[in-house]
Amino acid sequence: MSKIKVTIWNEFVHEQEQNSLGDTVRQFYPNGIHNYLKEALQADDLEIRAVSLDMPEQGLPDELINDTDVLLWWGHCAHARVEDALVEKLARRVHEGMGLIVLHSGHYSKIFKRLMGTTCSLHWREVGEKERLWKVARRHPISEGVPETFTLPHTEMYGEGFDIPDDGKIIFMSWYEGGNVFRSGVTFLRGNGKIFYFAPGHETYPIYHDANVQKVISNAIRWAAPEFYRDPNFVEQIPVPPETVYTDNPLANLDTSALHKTM
């Protein structure tokens, strides 16, 4: 069985900040969120690479993009630094079939906004409140083996309204101690690619250390892995119609330019 090729991309900025925020984040992710997740998610059926914005070609040279079945994206303060040309390449790769898992503040990444076509704005608050997640899609592969409900003791609140398109399938809903609710796990299909947005993952709490959070991401990787790739711009002419076309229809012989003039 061939392995699913997973690439975890992280902007890797907060982890390197020389201030109290950086100190806090490094307590939980000394080598960066990407390298932590690479270790936490390792499995026999996955080949995982961890890359970051500070690497050549922003961590994603063409050879790696074209060798990635599922891309995980963690970004927060450096969304604007991601080159538009790279975003277009990633969007094309998703349309071809690559899976994309957008984590936490990646809701505001260029690639997510590009694929959603909306602002992806939301309400937020950072007071370290409790979050309770509920499994809405109980028989979906992403929620398999995850408890019907589980809590994270301290999170950043992400609340509705969340400006994402209406075709998102809700897998998880979150309730926060302060009263807000949020579609915290949502799937989309774009071209041949599957996309999953998963909200938990604020950098100053050990959220990716949580076994349920890891289980969700792990399930999402298998769900998003493509069965095939296809040129998203492929169009096929169908000269022979599957049903008989009756050419005695007077409209069939009508000069359409004349029709347009009379309208």
* Candidate segments 65-73, 82-90, 105-113, 248-256, binder of Zn ion by CB under 5 A: 105-113
Tell me how far apart the alpha carbons of residues 218 and 72 are, in angstroms, rounded to a whole number: 11
Q: Are 192 and 97 in contact (CB under 8 A)?
A: yes
- When the beta carbons of 126 and 163 are compared against Zn ion, the nearer one is 126
Provide, rounded to whole angstroms, the least separation between the CB of residue 113 and Zn ion: 17
- When the beta carbons of 11 and 156 are compared against Zn ion, the nearer one is 156
- When the beta carbons of 61 and 128 are compared against Zn ion, the nearer one is 128
Tell me how far apart the alpha carbons of residues 59 and 250 are, in angstroms, rounded to a whole number: 60
Q: Between residue 166 and residue 195, which ones bind Zn ion under the rule CB under 5 A?
A: none
Provide, rounded to whole angstroms, the least separation between the CB of residue 105 and Zn ion: 5
Q: Are 187 and 208 in contact (CB under 8 A)?
A: no
Provide, rounded to whole angstroms, the least separation between the CB of residue 162 and Zn ion: 14
Tell me how far apart the alpha carbons of residues 78 and 13 are, in angstroms, rounded to a whole number: 8
Provide, rounded to whole angstroms, the least separation between the CB of residue 76 and Zn ion: 6
Q: Which of 15, 96, 156, 210 binds Zn ion (CB under 5 A)?
A: 156
How many positions of this chain bind Zn ion (CB under 5 A)?
3
Q: How far is CA 238 from CA 170, 224, 242, 243, in A?
A: 37, 31, 9, 12
Q: How far is CA 154 from CA 13, 31, 131, 185, 194, in A?
A: 22, 22, 7, 18, 29
96 is a site residue for Zn ion (CB under 5 A): no
Residues that bind Zn ion in the complex, under the rule CB under 5 A: 105, 156, 202
